[in-house]
Amino acid sequence: MKKAIQYCYMCDKVATTDEHVPPRCLFPEAKEMDGIDLRKNLIKVPSCVEHNCEKSADDEFLMVSIAGIVSNNSIGYRHAKQKVERAVRRTSYKLLDKVFRQKELVRIEREDNKFIDLIVGTPDYARLVSCFEKIAYGVYREHFGHRFDGAVKLHLGFLHRKEKNGRTFNSFIRHKTSLELANEPRYGENQKVFYYQFTRPDVHGFFLLNMWFYEGVDVYVSFMPKASEKKNWLPMNLIEAGIKSYINLDGKTYEFN
């Protein structure tokens, strides 16, 4: 039987290869984890050469960017201490210059008179969004069996916001998403490293993908199908216009501006 033609998860080109989504390097090898297999049934989707991240430095960039986030679980921490540190040393620490636009070393003293060195900085936001966008398209392709046709909008919940509106919106989107996903299944064979959930479509056909990495890196992706009616949400228009606004959700009030 002739094999069916596969098309790229990101575009309409014929697929010539397969790609792991998320990148395989985000999943620690068993030798790093005392023999525990955290690479079970990794997601692979058909890809053209252009959209195969394994042929670029994006997967390594993403690994270095998120594995060492302070709120991550012990798996992310161990991955950062082993594979990530090796990658950084291999490039004579130049890799950090690609991850952070601005950075500084912060030393924290523990109670046992030992110190923890942390790097605090401003990430390459545009590149992070691009990496997560490709993962989102790949997850959609794996979950629904076809390429998504429409637009997506991402929110990176794990990034610290200095401005009050940003912090408030972060809390709001986490709260709202947790309510909508309370009864939805989590997908992923290695959920300590990665899992995802989809909300149900709203009346406009819009829906949301929530992805978690190392239980501490949360990413929210709004899918807006091409055929759906454009959504105009008044509260967001008021917030963006700088008008003092309040959003009530499940007994909690969120204040903006």
Q: Which residues of 93-118 are buried (b: 16+ CB within 10 A; e: fewer)?
A: eebeeebbeeeeeeeeeeeeeeeeee
Strand, coil or helix: what is 208?
A: strand
Asked whether the beta carbons of 91 and 230 are under 8 A apart, the reply is no
Domain ranges of the chain: 17-123, 149-256
| Look-up of token digits 């986490």 | 174
3-state class (DSSP) for residue 87: helix
Whole-Å CA distances, 99 to 93, 104, 181, 207: 10, 13, 31, 30
257 residues of the chain, pLDDT tens digit each = 567 889 999 999 999 999 999 999 999 999 999 999 999 999 999 999 888 855 568 888 898 888 878 789 999 989 988 887 787 777 655 666 666 666 565 555 666 666 555 566 677 889 999 999 999 999 999 999 999 999 999 999 998 888 888 899 999 999 999 999 999 999 999 999 999 999 999 888 899 999 999 999 999 999 999 877 666 666 677 777 778 888 899 999 999 88
